[in-house]
């Protein structure tokens, strides 16, 4: 209860900070009302009437995904929300999403980079925020070819297996006690990613403390990325950092940068033959870089940042949502356990080779990402030129939000959209390729998530192992809840803390 109170106070202070930062602008609004003319719309999509100077900033609600959904029900599948003097365009239908992410993909392939994102990613030099062009294509190629290809992921299966088994052993050692599922999944994935990157994993007593520390750092980063910032909407005020967000991001990003620099310094002292991990590959690419699009040490760090920040919180939150939904529907978790038992048996442990034989597990993953898409508004797009979408003008430089959360819950597309029902994805045409704009949890087009294959493997393997190895229940007197907390990455508002009970035939299977 005390932690909930602290969290509520923290949220209130953040909201107050944002309001105070706009206060002096709000005072000017009423002095400037006479110059406002709604007819000066210039063909923009409809939306709530803005105030001069501040636009609609004062009416923003913390849960942007649900707030945007409500606006779209009033103003239509494409609408305008003024973020200060910058137009924000909200897309909330498959048809509008197709126009943005497919028909005019090249025009919308850039990002509207927030100030805090620049601070996090060495000036926006990573694959997420870098403008579309030769340098971005080079980074994407490095990711897809050298880091996240199927053959590369196959080569590090032993690492994934070792970390999953370590987590299962942790749950077994804590059988009958409350465990924080999201925290343990975060550490598991962190260990896999750092193991792939530079061979660093954590064991024993350090496990829980490091999970909490790293998760707090990444959580603060993703929270800052999702908060409205006056510096983004009024660039002339950015140097004042009125909300202190840039300073906060600089502090937390600096903690990870020190880790990266330390690892790089150690690696540069080693013989190249001593290591074959991804960091070594990246450092070799730096030395062999193309003169036209050189691959620098800043690119190395930015990709490490993308992997650690983008790969941990996203997948661990998705697994946490899946576990909560399964525990909320005993008939679904029993059906999934029956499927895994039939393929694996209770005298054996789950291997990644079993996964392709588990269609219901695959349907559970798809349904989880339908109800709780990891990035509910994707990463905002930014058109490089003024264009038309749905017959309306979308100005160059506007911030375009694709509300995939709303599309995935649209009752005109999905039957009983708020119900967790994996059966809707059995023998289904829907996949993760982003070709069907009724369902695209990883985005679509040129900016579709590069880590999709890695996330899918970790999700499936981890969830199958947890469901196969244990029964799960809430502690007596505690209630399971499924509410969400908005951020650029969607989270459970209240962490899932549950009690595991071993269900395999022999203790040795948990070693």
pLDDT tens track for 107-117: 999 999 999 99
> What band does 21 get if pLDDT is binned at 50, 70 and 90?
low
Cα 278 to Cα 355: distance, rounded to the nearest angstrom = 26
C-alpha distances out from residue 463 to 59, 119, 193, 319, 339, Å: 40, 34, 18, 7, 13
Q: Which residue has the higher pLDDT, 430 or 446?
A: 446
What confidence score (pLDDT) does residue 7 get? Answer: 46
Q: What is the mean pLDDT of residues 312-326?
A: 97
What confidence score (pLDDT) does residue 445 get? Answer: 95
The rounded percent of the chain whose pLDDT value lies above 90 is: 72
> What band does 206 get if pLDDT is binned at 50, 70 and 90?
low
- Cβ contacts of 258 within 8 Å, gap of 6 or more: none
What confidence score (pLDDT) does residue 23 get? Answer: 53
Cα 221 to Cα 215: distance, rounded to the nearest angstrom = 10
Q: What is the mean pLDDT of residues 276-305?
A: 85
C-alpha distances out from residue 170 to 495, 502, 504, 506, Å: 18, 12, 15, 16
**Torsion angle, alpha carbons of 77, 78, 79, 84, to 10:** 140
Among the residue ranges 34-48, 139-153, 442-456, the one predicted with the least confidence is: 34-48
CB hemisphere CA count around 238 (13 angstroms): 12
Q: What is the mean pLDDT of residues 358-366?
A: 97
Q: What is the mean pLDDT of residues 120-144?
A: 92
10 Å CB burial of residue 326 (0-12, 13-18, 19+) is buried
Q: Look up residue 2 and give its DSSP letter.
A: H
Per-residue pLDDT tens digits for 451-498:
999 999 999 999 999 999 999 999 999 999 999 999 999 999 999 999
- Which of 500, 503, 502 lies closest to 475 in space, CA to CA? 500
Backbone angles phi, psi at 48, to 5 degrees: -65, 145
What confidence score (pLDDT) does residue 288 get? Answer: 78
Q: What is the mean pLDDT of residues 360-388?
A: 97
Judge whether residue 202 has pLDDT over 70.
no
Cα 316 to Cα 484: distance, rounded to the nearest angstrom = 14
Task: With beta carbons less than 8 A apart as the criterion, state whether 146 and 277 touch.
Answer: no
What confidence score (pLDDT) does residue 263 get? Answer: 86
Task: Give CB contacts under 8 A, 24+ apart, made by 368-371.
Answer: 368/318, 368/321, 368/322, 368/325, 368/420, 369/318, 369/441, 370/408, 370/414, 370/425, 370/439, 370/441, 371/321, 371/325, 371/408, 371/409, 371/418, 371/420
pTM (2 d.p.): 0.90
**Torsion angle, alpha carbons of 184, 185, 189, 191, to 10:** 10
Judge whether residue 24 has pLDDT over 60.
no
> What band does 37 get if pLDDT is binned at 50, 70 and 90?
very low
Q: What is the mean pLDDT of residues 346-363?
A: 97
Q: Look up residue 144 and give its DSSP letter.
A: I
Domain range holding 76? 2-510
What confidence score (pLDDT) does residue 355 get? Answer: 96
The H or E element containing residue 471 is strand 470-473
Task: With beta carbons less than 8 A apart as the criterion, state whether 46 and 87 touch.
Answer: no
Concatenated DSSP letters for 396-455?
A: TT-EEEE-HHHHHT-TTTSSSTTS--GGGGTT-S--SSS-STT--TT--GGGS-TTHHHH
Judge whether residue 4 has pLDDT over 50.
no
Task: With beta carbons less than 8 A apart as the criterion, state whether 474 and 499 touch.
Answer: yes
Q: What is the mean pLDDT of residues 342-371?
A: 97
Per-residue pLDDT tens digits for 169-201:
999 999 999 999 999 999 999 999 988 888 765
Q: Look up residue 227 and give its DSSP letter.
A: S
Cα 159 to Cα 195: distance, rounded to the nearest angstrom = 7
Q: What is the mean pLDDT of residues 91-102?
A: 98
Judge whether residue 13 has pLDDT over 60.
no
What confidence score (pLDDT) does residue 267 get? Answer: 83
Q: What is the mean pLDDT of residues 15-22?
A: 55
Concatenated DSSP letters for 104-135?
A: TTTTT-EE---HHHHHHTTTT-STTTSPSSHH
Task: With beta carbons less than 8 A apart as the criterion, state whether 223 and 487 touch.
Answer: yes
> What band does 35 get if pLDDT is binned at 50, 70 and 90?
very low
Q: What is the mean pLDDT of residues 152-166?
A: 94
Judge whether residue 430 has pLDDT over 60.
yes
Q: Look up residue 377 and give its DSSP letter.
A: T
Cα 413 to Cα 440: distance, rounded to the nearest angstrom = 13
What confidence score (pLDDT) does residue 33 get? Answer: 42
Among the residue ranges 7-11, 264-268, 301-305, the one predicted with the least confidence is: 7-11
Q: What is the mean pLDDT of residues 322-327?
A: 98
Q: What is the mean pLDDT of residues 415-429?
A: 93
Q: Domain of 366: which CATH number? A: 1.10.630.10
Per the prediction, the chain carries an average pLDDT of 89
> What band does 147 get if pLDDT is binned at 50, 70 and 90?
confident
What confidence score (pLDDT) does residue 209 get? Answer: 62
Q: What is the mean pLDDT of residues 330-345?
A: 98
DSSP-derived 3-state class of residue 461: helix
What confidence score (pLDDT) does residue 461 get? Answer: 98
Q: Report the number of distinct structural domains present in the chain.
A: 1
Cα 447 to Cα 81: distance, rounded to the nearest angstrom = 23
Judge whether residue 18 has pLDDT over 90.
no
C-alpha distances out from residue 92 to 60, 113, 360, 377, 438, Å: 17, 21, 29, 10, 10
Per-residue pLDDT tens digits for 225-236:
988 999 999 989
Q: Which residue has the higher pLDDT, 20 or 366?
A: 366
> What band does 118 get if pLDDT is binned at 50, 70 and 90?
very high
Is 449 annotated in a binding site? The answer is yes
Judge whether residue 43 has pLDDT over 90.
yes
């Amino acid at each position: 209860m005390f932690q909930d109170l602290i969290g509520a106070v923290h949220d209130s202070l953040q909201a107050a900070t944002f309001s105070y930062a706009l206060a002096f602008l709000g005072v000017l609004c009423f002095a400037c009302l006479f110059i406002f003319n709604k007819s000066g719309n210039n063909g923009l999509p409809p939306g709530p009437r803005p105030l001069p100077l501040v636009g609609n900033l004062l009416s923003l609600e913390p849960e942007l995904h649900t707030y945007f959904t409500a606006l779209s029900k009033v103003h239509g599948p494409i609408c305008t929300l003024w973020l200060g003097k910058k137009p924000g365009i909200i897309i909330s239908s498959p048809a509008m999403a197709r126009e943005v992410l497919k028909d005019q993909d090249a025009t919308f392939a850039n990002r509207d980079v927030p100030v805090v994102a620049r601070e996090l990613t060495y000036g926006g030099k990573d694959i997420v925020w870098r403008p579309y062009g030769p340098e971005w294509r080079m980074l994407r190629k490095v990711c897809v070819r050298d880091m996240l290809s199927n053959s590369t992921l196959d080569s590090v299966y032993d690492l994934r297996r070792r970390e999953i088994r370590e987590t299962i052993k942790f749950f077994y050692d804590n059988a009958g006690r409350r465990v924080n599922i999201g925290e343990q999944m975060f550490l598991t994935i962190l260990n896999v990613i750092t193991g792939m990157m530079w061979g660093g994993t954590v064991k024993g007593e350090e496990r829980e403390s490091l999970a909490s520390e790293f998760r707090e750092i990444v959580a603060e980063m993703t929270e800052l990325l999702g908060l409205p910032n006056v510096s983004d909407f009024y660039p002339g005020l950015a140097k004042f950092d009125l909300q202190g967000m840039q300073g906060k991001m600089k502090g937390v990003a600096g903690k990870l940068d020190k880790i990266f620099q330390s690892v790089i310094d150690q690696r540069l002292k080693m013989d190249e033959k001593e290591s074959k991990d991804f960091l070594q590959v990246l450092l070799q690419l730096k030395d062999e870089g193309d003169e036209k699009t050189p691959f620098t040490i800043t690119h190395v760090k930015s990709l490490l940042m993308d992997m650690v920040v983008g790969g941990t919180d996203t997948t661990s939150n998705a697994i946490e949502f899946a576990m909560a939904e399964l525990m909320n529907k005993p008939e679904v978790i029993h059906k999934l356990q029956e499927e895994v038992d039939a393929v694996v048996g209770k005298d054996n442990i789950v291997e990644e080779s079993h996964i392709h034989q588990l269609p219901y597990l695959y349907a559970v993953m798809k349904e989880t990402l339908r109800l709780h898409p990891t990035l509910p508004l994707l990463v905002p797009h930014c058109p490089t030129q003024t264009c038309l979408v749905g017959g309306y003008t979308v100005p160059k430089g506007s911030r375009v939000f694709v509300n995939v959360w709303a599309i995935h819950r649209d009752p005109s597309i999905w039957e009983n959209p708020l119900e967790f029902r994996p059966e809707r994805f059995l023998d289904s045409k829907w996949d993760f390729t982003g070709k069907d704009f009724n369902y695209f949890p990883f985005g679509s087009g040129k900016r579709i998530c590069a880590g999709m294959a890695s996330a899918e493997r970790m999700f499936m393997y981890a969830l199958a192992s947890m469901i196969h190895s244990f029964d799960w229940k809430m502690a007596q007197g505690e209630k399971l809840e499924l509410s969400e907390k908005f951020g650029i990455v969607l989270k459970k508002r209240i962490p899932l803390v549950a009690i595991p009970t071993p269900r395999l035939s022999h203790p040795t299977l948990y070693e």
